[in-house]
Amino acid sequence: MSRSRPVVALYPGSFDPLTVGHEDIVRRGLRVADRIIVAVAHTSTHAKKGLFAVEERVELIREVFGDEERIQPVSFSGLLVDFAREQGAHLVVRGLRAISDFEYELQMAQMNQELWPEIETIFLVPDAQNSFISSSLVREVASLGGDVSAFVSPVVLEAMRRKLARCPR
């Protein structure tokens, strides 16, 4: 079976901060997509207290994946399906850590497909060692002085240390 066009996927999220779990999903997503746009949302569907500005997150993602030209970090606002259309992406990649993620992600996938029938969503299961990692948990542990070096790349860890030293919580 040959493809007439490259497969462009979106991996949307807040990525505040980017974790090794996110990195794993992005790199594994390249097994099914020719290019992945890591889409950093300006607005979140969940109320979260952020650590990094959107532009900082995009830059950190760029640094982490600097060795892979098929990964492109970009910020966006508005509907994911509108952004997908603009980018020529017909695939959304999402990670499912637990069964509790599935209900919400299924609703989002079905809504996106209703809004734009040309979009498909695939769910990737994280590596077992990453299944409990979430950005909000990493932020909380780091803000309380805990060691999160196993959960984020060295680039992200250093940025978190600098940010938390300036803005203690």
104 lies in a domain?
A: yes
Q: What is the mean pLDDT of residues 9-15?
A: 97
- Report pLDDT for 50: 86
| Cis peptide, bond prior to residue 17, ω within 30 of zero | yes
2 lies in a domain?
A: no
Query: What are 7's two structure tokens?
Result: 């497969």
Domain span holding position 39? 8-166
Judge contact between 68 and 125, C-beta under 8 A: no
Distance, CA of 75 to CA of 104 (rounded, Å)? 22
3 lies in a domain?
A: no
> How does pLDDT run across 53-90, given as a tens digit for each residue?
999 999 999 999 999 999 999 999 999 999 999 999 99
116 or 4: which carries more pLDDT confidence?
Answer: 116
1 lies in a domain?
A: no
46 lies in a domain?
A: yes
Q: What is the mean pLDDT of residues 21-37?
A: 97
- Report pLDDT for 1: 46
26 lies in a domain?
A: yes
132 or 2: which carries more pLDDT confidence?
Answer: 132
Under the banding of pLDDT at 50, 70 and 90, the label for residue 48 is low
Please give the model's pTM, rounded to 2 decimal places. 0.92
- Report pLDDT for 168: 56
**Tally of structural domains, the chain:** 1
Q: Which CATH number covers residue 140? A: 3.40.50.620
Which residue intervals of 18-79 are DSSP H helices? 20-29, 54-64
Distance, CA of 120 to CA of 13 (rounded, Å)? 17
- Could you tell me which of 128, 158, 141, 142 has the C-alpha nearest to residue 24? 128
Q: Which residues have a catalytic role annotated? A: 22, 48, 97, 135
Phi, psi values for residue 90, rounded to 5°? -115, 10
What is residue 30's DSSP assignment? T
5 or 153: which carries more pLDDT confidence?
Answer: 153
84 lies in a domain?
A: yes
Q: What is the mean pLDDT of residues 10-37?
A: 97
- Report pLDDT for 47: 60
